[in-house]
């Protein structure tokens, strides 16, 4: 995952600063959420601490104002928890629903116990390389820039850790598997999904992803991101309501850092 900072020219000053938690809806990019927040608040600097792809949903930590955006790297550190859905028996070029299907294989008869026997082997420290369709950089450009041109860049694997991996359910009829994963920063769940599929002998790709926790923050505390994009959330109708809601939910940078740090200490205890 990568952070992002965007600027918009207003009066050259940040009227307010703080941290917002937003539940990003499916179909919206992380940048679209950032853009909406900066427009509603008129803040020069707004960024997020960890990208979610458009097909994914869940917790985005939004940093508002320069004092907050300077702390993006700090907020990106910490354990993340995801709920993921895998389609067994198929693979796509992007390892997610946004790519073309490249392989179809029969799925063996599997029980939850069979699947758990495989998934538990992924728990622990390991090395993982960023996928070609990712925001990881190569010569200043994201890997997906090259991949879309048919150039697949292979980056060196980096250390990550899967702290827990729970099988939530498996539907033999649809051959869909649901899991909950708690992992370190820099973990690509789509790569994990593909690796699980390979170990099961049938291949798999990620069909849905939801981030429920990041460091000390939970999506249960977040603002409904879809509400930011309602037609009545505009300068002519509802602009003040939109900005007032954001202001009422904003934490100070100090409060957010303290909670995040406290949770990180508990994780490492």
User: How many domains, in total, are found in the chain?
Assistant: 2
Closest Cα to residue 178, out of 165, 159, 160?
Answer: 165
At 6 the pLDDT is 46
Is 155 in contact with 167 (CB distance < 8 Å)? no
Residues 184, 165: Cα–Cα separation, whole Å? 12
**Residue owning tokens 């869909």:** 176
Of the residues 23, 53, 96, 195, only one is catalytic, namely: 53
- C-alpha 206/C-alpha 177 separation (Å) is 10
Would you give the DSSP letter of residue 160?
E
For helices 239-249 and 30-41, give the axis angle rounded to 10 degrees: 110
Looking at the fold, whether 52 and 104 belong to one and the same domain comes out as no
Give the pLDDT confidence score for residue 164 in this predicted structure.
Answer: 98
Instruction: Looking at the structure, tell me whether residues 151 and 226 fall in a common domain.
Output: no
| Residues 126 and 239 occupy one common structural domain | no
Whether 70 and 129 share a structural domain: no
Per the structure block, which two tokens stand in for 88? 């067994």
- Say whether both 140 and 248 belong to one domain: no
C-alpha 172/C-alpha 168 separation (Å) is 14
* Block residue for tokens 């020069």: 44
235 and 262 both lie in a single domain: yes
Q: Do both 152 and 192 map to the same domain? A: yes
Give the side-chain half-sphere CA count within 13 A for 41: 31
Q: Are 26 and 4 in contact (CB under 8 A)?
A: no
Active site residue 53: yes
- Judge if 96 and 209 occupy the same domain: yes
Q: Are residues 119 and 199 in the same domain?
A: yes
Same domain assignment for residues 84 and 203 = yes
pTM of the prediction?
0.87
Q: Are residues 189 and 250 in the same domain?
A: no
Inter-residue contact 101 to 89 (CB < 8 Å): no
Residue for token pair 């509400």:
227
Average pLDDT across each block of 10 residues of the chain; the chain has 269 residues. List them in order.
46 74 95 93 91 95 95 94 98 94 97 97 95 76 78 85 98 98 96 97 98 96 89 48 82 93 67
Alpha-helical runs (H) found in the chain? 30-41, 66-69, 72-76, 112-119, 143-147, 189-200, 239-249, 253-268
The range of the structural domain enclosing residue 163 comes to: 80-214
Question: In this structure, what token pair is assigned to residue 59?
Answer: 């917790």
pLDDT score of 174: 98
- CATH number, domain of 141, equals 3.30.2350.10
User: 92 and 206: one domain?
Assistant: yes
Contacts of 186 (CB under 8 A, 6+ apart): 1, 128, 158, 160
Last residue of a domain, one of 195, 214, 233: 214
């Amino acid at each position: 995952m990568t952070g992002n900072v965007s600027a918009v020219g207003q009066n050259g000053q940040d009227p307010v600063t703080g941290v917002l938690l937003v539940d990003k809806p499916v179909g919206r990019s992380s940048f679209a959420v950032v853009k909406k927040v900066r427009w509603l608040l008129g803040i020069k600097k707004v960024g997020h601490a960890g990208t979610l792809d458009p097909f994914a949903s869940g917790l985005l930590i939004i940093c508002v104002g320069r004092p907050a955006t300077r702390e993006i790297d700090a907020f990106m550190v910490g354990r993340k928890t995801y709920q993921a859905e895998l389609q067994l028996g198929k693979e796509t070029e992007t390892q997610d629903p946004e790519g073309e299907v490249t392989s179809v294989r029969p799925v063996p008869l599997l029980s939850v116990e069979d699947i758990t026997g495989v998934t538990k082997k992924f728990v622990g420290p390991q090395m993982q390389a960023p996928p070609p369709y990712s925001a990881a950089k190569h010569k200043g450009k994201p890997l997906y820039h090259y991949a879309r041109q048919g150039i697949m860049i292979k980056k060196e694997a980096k250390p990550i850790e899967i702290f827990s991996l729970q099988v939530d359910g498996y539907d033999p009829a649809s051959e869909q598997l649901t899991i909950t994963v708690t992992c370190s920063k820099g973990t690509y769940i789509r790569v994990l999904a593909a690796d699980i599929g390979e170990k099961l002998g049938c291949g798999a790709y990620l069909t849905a992803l939801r981030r429920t926790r990041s460091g000390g923050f939970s999506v249960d505390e977040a603002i409904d991101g879809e509400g930011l994009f309602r037609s009545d959330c505009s300068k002519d109708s509802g602009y003040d309501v939109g900005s007032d809601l954001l202001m009422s939910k904003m934490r100070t940078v100090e409060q957010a850092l303290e909670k995040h740090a406290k949770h990180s200490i508990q994780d490492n205890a």
